[in-house]
Amino acid sequence: MYKRYRSTNKIIVMKKILSLTAIFLLVAGWAIAQDSTVAAEVKEAPKKKFTRTTFNSTRIINLQSTEIVSKGGLEFMVSHHFSNLWNKDAGSQNVAQFFGINSGVARTYLSFAYSFTNQLSAGIALAGSSKYEGWIKAKLLRQSSGPHSFPVTVTLFSLAHVNTATDPDNEFSYNRFAFANQLLIARKLSDRFSLELIPTWVHYNVVPYGINNSNEVFSLGIGGKYKVKSKLNLTFEYTRQLNMYENLISKSGAIVNYHPDLASVGIEVNTGGHLFQFYIGSTQESSIIDQLTRNTSSIKSGNLAFGFTINRSLSFNK
């Protein structure tokens, strides 16, 4: 009887041990599974990602893009605008002048810009015809995806322009200044296509007296980039001047009219060390002050001119 009792007890104890082991394994398995699930959830949690290279240059063609050179970068840019490809009264001279490129008329824009941070840069330029410019450019918001995403990139561009050419009517330096402010709003719609909206406000310190003359000039533009290949892009711009282009009074009292439409198309080639931009547009001017407020080229009359820009960036970061 005693042996049978001991055997029965052993069986009961073994069953309890097996039961406890099974419960332990189930609890441990459940805990491990929970830890794995939590770890997976933590690992797969979405992260905020900022959009890069909405544009490949700080300019689309003539107009500024939302891009800023990386912190510690110095950007050197030289732009040439030539005379019209074809003048209806020039005849064979159009070919002799190689469609405006060899006409002897070229407006050169030479600029340097340095980035203090990834969001702020400043620059200076020789704008041609005794004109000089300086500016600041600040990236306010960046397009992003993930938590707290934002749909567009927003950059502020503010420029001061001074004309130092000899002019008896502008004997005081105050009279020679003009200012441009642009709010650049861009969205990278896909890996290939980017679009930008460009409202612009230009202020002249002094303008001739006249009922249609104004110190403030407004325009609205749009520009874009389409990536054909990794190092080749198509670019375009269109801007419409909204006021101060019809029946203006010049300093001599004559009636002056300008052409409010500014359009350009071009290609952009990235060689790795340099960025080349070649374009055709309805302006021969090199400064946005003249392009957006005093454009003398008419699209309807076929006044289109060739231009190109060479862009080189150097980094001073270690």
SS (H, E, C) 64-115: ECCCCCCCCEEEEEEEEEEEECCCCCCCCHHHHCCCCCCCCCEEEEEEEEEE
Residue 8 pLDDT class (50, 70, 90 cuts)? low
Q: What percent of the chain has pLDDT over 90?
A: 61
3-class DSSP state for residue 154?
strand
3-state secondary structure of 28: helix
Mean pLDDT of 30-39: 52
Mean pLDDT of 70-99: 82
Contact 125, 133 (CB under 8 A): yes
Q: Please tell me the pTM assigned to this model.
A: 0.82
Residue 177 forms beta bridges with which residues?
Answer: 162
The confidence band for 12, taking pLDDT boundaries of 50, 70 and 90, is low
The pLDDT assigned to 267 comes to: 97
> Would you kindly state where each structural domain of the chain is located, as residue ranges?
1-45, 49-315
pLDDT at 208: 87
Q: Which residues pair with 126 in a beta bridge?
A: 110, 132
Centroid of chain to Cα 139: 10
Ramachandran region, residue 257 (left: φ > 0; alpha: ψ -120 to 50; beta: rest): beta
CATH no. of 49-315: 2.40.160.40
Residues 6+ away with beta carbon under 8 Å from 189? 195
Helices and strands (H and E) in the chain: how many: 3, 16
What is the arithmetic mean of pLDDT over 56-74? 95
pLDDT value, residue 91? 72
User: Which pLDDT band, with edges at 50, 70 and 90, does 288 fall under?
Assistant: very high
Task: Supply the pLDDT for residue 302.
Answer: 83
Q: What pLDDT shows up at residue 3?
A: 46
Query: For residue 183, what are the β-bridge partners?
Result: 156
Give the chain's mean pLDDT.
85
* pLDDT average, residue stretch 219-236: 96
Is the confidence at residue 43, as pLDDT, over 60?
no
pLDDT value of position 15: 59
Q: Could you give the 3-state DSSP secondary structure of residue 253? A: coil
* pLDDT tens digits, 110-129: 999 999 999 999 999 999 88
Query: CB of 164 within 8 A of CB of 132?
Result: yes
Q: Which DSSP symbol is given to 170?
A: G
Q: What pLDDT is attached to residue 210?
A: 86
Please tell me the least confidently modeled range out of 62-66, 85-89, 231-235: 85-89
Mean pLDDT on 68-73: 93
Q: What pLDDT does residue 2 have?
A: 43
What pLDDT, on a 0 to 100 scale, did the predictor assign at position 18?
Answer: 55
- Secondary structure of residue 208 in the 3-state scheme: coil
Other CB atoms within 10 A of residue 212 CB? 14
Please state which of the ranges 48-52, 66-70, 134-138 shows the lowest mean pLDDT: 48-52
Burial class (CB in 10 A: 0-12, 13-18, 19+), 150: middle
Rounded Cα gap, residues 193 and 285, in angstroms: 28
Half-sphere exposure of 12 (CA within 13 A, CB side): 6
Residue 167 in this model has a pLDDT that exceeds 90:
no
User: Predicted confidence band at 14 (pLDDT cuts at 50, 70, 90)?
Assistant: low
User: In 10 A of CB 110, how many CB atoms?
Assistant: 15
> How confident is the model over 199-220, as pLDDT tens digits?
999 999 988 888 889 999 999 9
User: pLDDT, tens digit, for every residue of 245-284?
Assistant: 999 988 888 899 999 999 999 999 999 879 999 999 999 9
User: How far apart are alpha carbons 285 and 299 in whole angstroms?
Assistant: 14
> What single-letter DSSP state applies at residue 213?
-
Residue 43: phi and psi, rounded to 5, are -65, -35
How far is the first Cα of the chain from the last one, in angstroms, to the nearest whole number? 90
Identify the band that residue 229 occupies on the pLDDT scale cut at 50, 70 and 90.
very high
3-state helix, strand, coil in the chain (%, to 5): 20, 45, 35
- Structure confidence at residue 83 (pLDDT): 83
Q: Which of 27-41, 53-67, 239-253 has the highest mean pLDDT?
A: 53-67
Q: CA 265, CA 222: separation in Å to the nearest integer? A: 12
